[in-house]
């Protein structure tokens, strides 16, 4: 009798404990999901999107032209849905280009600006409040919100770019003998608190691709897909990847094609 009455409260205590543990484990798993929930539809990236929209229509450079005639793949000046269908082959440059590469191309060809000037500081450093490229990328990406990733694979050059991206993804190099695949080809892996997406798998690749550009809470800045690639290469101690370079475009193509069909949700909100 006394043994039984002692048992029930013990069971209760146990179940409360396991409940608490479950809640704590969930919060530990993804504190950023909680943060996102708290923020609701508010994302500080909205300010950057607004800046990008202004920069898009602002006459700049020696030619005092805006970017409104820039062809992002769906015709001159069409921004809606363009990001979801990049990278793609462009007839005028005869190469596959990603968003950042194309934006730089438009700044050079339409506005008459110097490519090396733009490449001097494409991404923000400590204490910066964002660069032009980051703002423009945010604006263009936002115009594809909710649309499925549909990176074309029709042109032979597009297929070749995907193949090269795949090769680079698995290519081990540098002092650490690292490749992208070292961290990104297995399910359910993490580095410290961060889940590492398996970029060879459709669901993970789509989720990752669709959330860039993203506002990084820890940095107070919007970071672009090109920055993500550059930073990954830096962490692997590989040579610097330049925005719009063949290597970056190939890797981005490999990721976007793997994630095809996933709805765009950029600019996202990340740690």
Q: Name the site residues for another protein (rule: CB under 8 A).
A: 38-40, 42, 44, 46-47, 50-51, 125-127, 129, 217, 220
Residue 118 per-residue DSSP state: H
Residue 43 per-residue DSSP state: -
Q: How far is the CB of 44 from another protein (least distance, A)?
A: 4
Question: Is the CB of 150 or the CB of 242 nearer to another protein?
Answer: 242
- Please say whether the beta carbons of 99 and 140 come within 8 A: yes
Q: How far is the CB of 204 from another protein (least distance, A)?
A: 29
Residue 127 per-residue DSSP state: T
Q: How far is the CB of 16 from another protein (least distance, A)?
A: 30
Burial 40-73 (b: 16+ CB within 10 A, else e): eeebebeebbebbbebbeeebbeeebbbeebbbb
Write the CA distances from 252 to 32, 123, 138, 219, integer angstroms.
24, 17, 16, 23
- Please say whether the beta carbons of 122 and 135 come within 8 A: no
Residue written as token pair 């602002």: 58
Q: Which residues contact 241 (CB under 8 A, 6 or more apart)?
A: 226, 229, 230, 233, 247, 248
Helices (H), 211-245: 225-235
Say whether 232 is catalytic: yes
Question: Is the CB of 63 or the CB of 271 nearer to another protein?
Answer: 271
Catalytic residue among 17, 106, 183, 232: 232
- By CB neighbour count within 10 A (0-12 exposed, 13-18 middle, 19+ buried), where does 196 fall? middle
Q: How far is the CB of 236 from another protein (least distance, A)?
A: 21
At residue 59, φ and ψ (nearest 5 deg) are: -65, 130
State the Cα–Cα distance between residues 260 and 31, nearest whole angstrom.
28
Q: How far is the CB of 20 from another protein (least distance, A)?
A: 26
Q: How far is the CB of 226 from another protein (least distance, A)?
A: 19
Tell me the catalytic residues. Answer: 232
């Amino acid at each position: 009798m006394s043994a039984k009455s002692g048992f029930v409260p013990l069971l209760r205590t146990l179940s409360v404990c396991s409940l608490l543990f479950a809640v704590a484990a969930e919060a530990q798993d993804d504190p950023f999901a909680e943060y996102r929930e708290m923020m609701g539809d508010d994302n500080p990236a909205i300010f950057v999107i607004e800046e990008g929209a202004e920069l898009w229509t602002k006459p700049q450079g020696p030619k005092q032209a805006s970017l409104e005639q820039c062809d992002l793949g769906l015709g001159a000046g069409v921004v809606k849905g363009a990001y979801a269908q990049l990278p793609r082959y462009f007839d005028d440059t005869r190469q596959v280009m990603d968003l950042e590469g194309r934006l730089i191309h438009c700044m050079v060809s339409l506005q008459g600006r110097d490519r090396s000037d733009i490449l001097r500081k494409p991404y923000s450093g400590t204490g910066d409040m964002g660069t032009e490229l980051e703002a423009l990328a945010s604006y263009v990406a936002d115009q594809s919100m909710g649309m499925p990733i549909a990176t074309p694979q029709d042109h032979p050059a597009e297929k070749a770019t995907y193949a090269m991206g795949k090769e680079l993804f698995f290519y081990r190099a540098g002092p650490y003998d690292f490749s992208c695949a070292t961290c990104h080809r297995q399910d359910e892996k993490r580095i410290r608190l961060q889940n590492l997406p398996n970029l060879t798998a459709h669901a993970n690749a789509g989720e990752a691709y669709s959330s860039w550009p993203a506002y990084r809470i820890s940095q107070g800045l919007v970071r672009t897909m090109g920055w993500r690639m550059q930073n990954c290469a830096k962490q692997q101690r590989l040579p610097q990847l330049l925005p719009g370079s063949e290597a970056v475009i190939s890797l981005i193509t490999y990721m976007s094609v793997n994630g095809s069909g996933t709805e765009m949700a950029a600019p996202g909100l990340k740690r």
